[in-house]
A and B are shown apart, each in its own frame.
Chain A
Amino acid sequence: MKKKGKTIPVLTMIALIVAIWYIGAIWLNAPAEYDRALRSNTSLSFSELVSNTMAQERPVLPAPHQVAVEIWDTTVNKKITSKRSLVYHAWITLSATLLGFIIGTVLGILLAVGITHNRAMDRSVMPWIIASQTIPILAIAPMIIVVLSAVGLTGLLPKALISTYLSFFPVVVGMVKGLRSPDNQQLDLMRTYSASSSDTFWKLRWPSSMPYLFTSLKVAVAISLVGAIVGELPTGAVAGLGARLLAGSYYGQTIQIWSALFAAAFLAAILVMIVGIAHAQVLKRMGQKPEEYA
């Protein structure tokens, strides 16, 4: 359900951000223009300064329209099979993201089931899972790539596994809480039916955990994308949004960096939105009150 009058505040915020961005672009790119004017001994009027700061080839901060033009150029005006197409690179990253997200979700759920059904696992596995997330992903990503390529695994899977490494965590934490969310009375009820633990799982614990699962999945899908991008950096920047970022920073192509950043942000927003829609659909089919999933 759309709330009334949401469009105007959102548009106002966007306009404000764009305005601040333009001011920032002029301010940050001005020193280079002053330098150039000094070297060629010409004077620079304010209007020249403003228009020049927005047309640099390698600006410190590109103006919004430069980024917009670059995105348009590299999506609509290029064939999607071209190495210069942003869609091509986005797809490379997306495929690793999705594979990693799926593996991470399955792994996370399996670990959560183990933890909630086995006391030994509860005590021994959880600290390791938490410890795994204290290691910076930037430190461990190259090692995963190197180790896996040593055993002959290259391409999609190593990147996906870095996504998995990040995305399984919120799923485990959310699902452990979700599978433990039935209250004592509901568990007693199942006992009075002398229900088997698989009945208790499928008819009580699993449905109870759905809201927790989807909340976790929203986090997991976004950090899966981060994982895939990070996974592309040490591979030598062949393809993918991570490669675009790295190549852009090698050659000072700030416009390319920003357009890759926007592509990544857009992708993340779409992914989170899809999970959100799935969440609402599942809760609706589970007969929740309308206001609870709106």
Chain B
Amino acid sequence: MLAARAHLPDGRLGPGLARLTAEIARLMDAFAAAGATAVDPPALQPADILLDLYGEDIRARAYVVRDPARGEMMLRPDFTVPVVRMHMAHGAEPARYAYAGPVWRMQEPGSPRPSEYLQAGFEIFGAPDPAQADAEVFALIRDLVGADAALVETGDMGVLAAAVEGLDTAPHRRAALRRHLWRPARFRRLLERFGAGHAAETAARAALLARVAAEGAPAVIAAAGPEIGLRGAAEVAERLARLAEEARTPPLSAEQVAGIEAVLAISAPMEAALGQLRALALPGLGPACDRIEARMEALAARGIDAAALPFATSFGRTTLEYYDGFVFGFSAPGRPDLPPVAQGGRYDRLTEALGGGRRLPAVGAIIRPEVLLAARGCPA
């Protein structure tokens, strides 16, 4: 038991450890050959930055420790955030980085998922041609995981985002949908609310909005109670105005809602999926389709049968939260008990959030060396 580590019963000792060390060296050598500089970010990361990025939910998934001088720290739940921060602070552009080491994730009691596991990763920042960089990372990871993780999935978070931006409706609705792209249940509820549910929603607010129209927002607010706390009466009045605007805005048409749902339902080989997306002829989807096509060509130029790669618009929507473009994953065939051997994607937006508004093209991927060895069926 003491020699066990994630997915490898003997991975902390003797030959089991030697195999793992050799595998990590193989991956890091390949990343170096692809031009990457090795980086080694601290295991302890400031909690504030991760909380701001992921929200309070991260507390349930990351180990929080309290440092008397530095305040709340977290054991890094991944490398991407610390590597982006290092690059934003010290890096030259364009830049390529490689890393390997443990990450920590708190799991629900009884969960078979490991709370400590290894990641070996590769990230490219600032590459001018996104299609080429996407294809390069995908091809590199595919070659490294090989036949041990031949189950491929791909997607593109930018497609749904583009469909939302293309909706002909009030800007506040697009903003609300954009904010919940990564929360499918909430996204669907909003879509319902702005569409078929709009009449019921408007009726539920009617009494309040009628009072506000008759008496004025300040009087209605003052009658409800004294102004306390940081969020002031002006902010309440502002939101009342937005609620009135939402009530006045015509509901999303059945066609608009069906369009978004059709985008979400697409799951087919990449070339066929692209054809289906183009055939939807939704406003705003053109550039997103062009990006998929350019990427498909770049993948094909690297000898990958890109047209046949499985592609789903909703792939990566719940698990890979900071990705906003191309996403992909590799899993071991016949091993649904194992997490994906590798996953990655594009995360331009994350660089903006961490770089104080400076946005940088960024794409990367991680391989889980322990899972890769387990998938290869090393003797226990």
- Are chains A and B native binding partners rather than an unrelated pairing? no
**Which residues of A are at the interface with B, using a C-beta cutoff of 8 A?**
none
**Which residues of B are at the interface with A, using a C-beta cutoff of 8 A?**
none
